[in-house]
């Protein structure tokens, strides 16, 4: 069910990921120092795999949403637990908590978007839309 031969074929250098996601290598090292990433080492050099890359995507999305690295760390552990499927009750509670937060955030966002659309409409009427 596992394919050891296909493993070890997805290796990224720190600079690869930095460039791909438009962040600094220093930032990536910082995330590692906070335990959000756990790349392997070849000697002293970091080697990242698909898992790390996926986590990095989650990290950056979390940041775009305004979460702290601490929040994101918790969030990532939900994913880990997800694949490990242990302490499942705790997990459900945590997920629900997070969902409540996010749904509230979504409501805030929708309110804000609505208000801005109103402003835009009024402003456009003021000018004459097509002019």
Query: How far is residue 103's CA from residue 106's CA, in Å, rounded to a whole number?
Result: 5
Q: Give the shortest CB-121-to-DNA separation in angstroms.
A: 29
Q: Binding residues for its own copies, how many (CB under 8 A)?
A: 39
Q: Binding segment for its own copies among 23-31, 32-40, 45-53, 82-90 (CB under 8 A)?
A: 82-90
State how far the Cα of 11 lies from the Cα of 28, in Å rounded to an integer: 15
* For its own copies, the closer CB: 45 or 112: 112
**Do 41 and 47 contact (CB within 8 A), yes or no?**
yes
Pairing type for strands 40-42 and 45-47 reads: antiparallel
Note whether 33 and 44 are within 8 A (CB): no
Is residue 56 a contact point for DNA (CB under 7 A)?
Answer: no
Our finding on whether 67 is near its own copies (CB under 8 A) is yes
Residues within the interface to DNA (CB under 7 A): 13-15, 23-27, 29-31, 34, 43-46, 63, 68-70
């Amino acid at each position: 069910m596992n394919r050891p031969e296909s493993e070890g074929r997805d290796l990224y250098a720190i600079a690869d990921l930095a460039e791909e996601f438009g962040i600094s290598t220093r930032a990536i090292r910082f995330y590692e120092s906070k335990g959000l990433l756990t790349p392997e080492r070849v000697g002293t050099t970091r080697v990242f795999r698909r898992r790390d890359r996926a986590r990095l995507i989650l990290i950056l999305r979390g940041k775009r949403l305004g979460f702290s690295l601490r929040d994101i760390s918790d969030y990532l552990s939900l994913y880990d637990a997800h694949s490990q499927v242990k302490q499942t009750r705790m997990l459900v509670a945590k997920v629900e908590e997070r969902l409540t937060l996010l749904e509230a955030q979504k409501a805030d966002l929708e309110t804000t978007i609505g208000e801005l659309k109103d402003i835009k409409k009024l402003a456009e009427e003021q000018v004459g839309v097509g002019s």
